[in-house]
Structure 1
Amino acid sequence: MTQSASPDIIAVATSFVNLLFKEDWGETELTPAEVEVLFATVSAAGFNPKEVVKDGLSDEVSHTDYHVIDQSGHVHAAATNWLNRAFFCTSMYRSKLIPPKRLWVPGQVDCRENAIDAIKTEIERSIPLEPIQLTPDGERLREFPYNPTLNGFSRPPVQAFVDHTRDEHEFRGEVGIHDYCEGRMKRIRVAETRDALICGRCHLRVLFPKEVQTYGELRGFLAAKIRLAPRG
């Protein structure tokens, strides 16, 4: 069963598409409120930006010049690629409304609604796996990061929209990153009834039943184990 999108995500996607469907889109500079729409969109997509800024390298009005800045003050390449890809995809829907096709015709596809649905889907798809707490001390497993490339093309690559690990996914072999430590974690068999996650950097070892097959099952098992752990 597919879970419906949250009202917040639908509202964010709607605001983003409505902004790009403005008649003067691409002809005037964005207002601070409009830049905030971009910020809200990449935030909803799970990128944790510090701000969205214009690169300032050109005097021309071009909304693909907007960069997402991460919390350390650097350009967030993955988020910037994602935003530019969202611009590109939404513009494909918008182009179907350019006069004389802007007038609604019975039976014509509602391009705006389709664009909203597409951006909503990509926002949901972009949200990374919630890290899994491994120990009572707060050590966590997070998914492998996505490393974007531009493939030499001037427009954002298809890879800017990517799938993330989900709780229902099975995990085997190298399963993710030990948060903060940054070591790669690997699943191995260590006993007849037990498997373990081993960090290749700090050698953290986390045991769990061999029957655990998905990230969600691991999350549930460890959460219950941590709740029962002695305090202090």
Structure 2
Amino acid sequence: MRTLTLPGGARAEVVAAEWHDAFGVVTSGRVQLELRDGEPGPVFGRDAGFWLRGTGVRALRNPDGRTARVRVFTPGAAARRSPHPLREPHPDGDDMNSTKDTEIVAGPASEQPSRTRRLGGLAGTGLIATLAAMVATTLGAALARVVGVDFEIPDGGETIPLAGIAVVTGFFSVVGVVIAVALLRWSARPADRFVRVAVALTALSLVPAPVSGANAATVAVLLGLHLVAAAVMIPALTRSLRSRTG
């Protein structure tokens, strides 16, 4: 018998040899199964039991901030040596009837960055990318003005100022950062989901320019500026998400 300890946000890969005949019982916190395709599976609360043999589950995750523990009962022979970085249980502690209980901690603390550090690092990357996007779109708009693009919107009788372009770029870039942080917190595949959401939102953001009544040059530049901002934000946030989810 052994206890698997999952700190907040931790992930432990499931090794088939260790879970061949094992039965797990959640004794504290909550544990989420990660399915073979990386999608999030069911979440088990305290006193829930589960078998993993033949399910294709590839990892156990702790979706919450507080530590979760799983008591693992393994009848029969001792579990084989695991290739992943968990402390191996003592052979005498694997029998279902044994009174010994070996605790297995999912990864050393140095290899399991806290949720706060992961989210904070992503937010920091996002803010830097936001500033870069604002600079890029503002410079692009300034160059467009130099060559004669007026940025006039006939329906409102107004001309879009450079500051307005910077503010709009910054606002929607921050929205993208918030979405990325939320996906990192709650999704099992945050990078892939972020790309899909960001591309869809970028496509929607292109709609207002052609129907604004502006001249062709202004419409073309506005569409280009949207794409420039997306080209800065989406790769930066996607890379950051991938680096924080392994």
TM-score band (shorter)? Answer: under 0.3
Which structure shows the higher helix fraction?
A: 2
Q: Which structure has the larger Rg over C-alpha atoms?
A: 2
TM-score (norm 1): 0.25
Structure showing greater relative contact order (alpha-carbon pairs closer than 8 Å, 6 or more residues apart):
2
TM-score (norm 2): 0.24
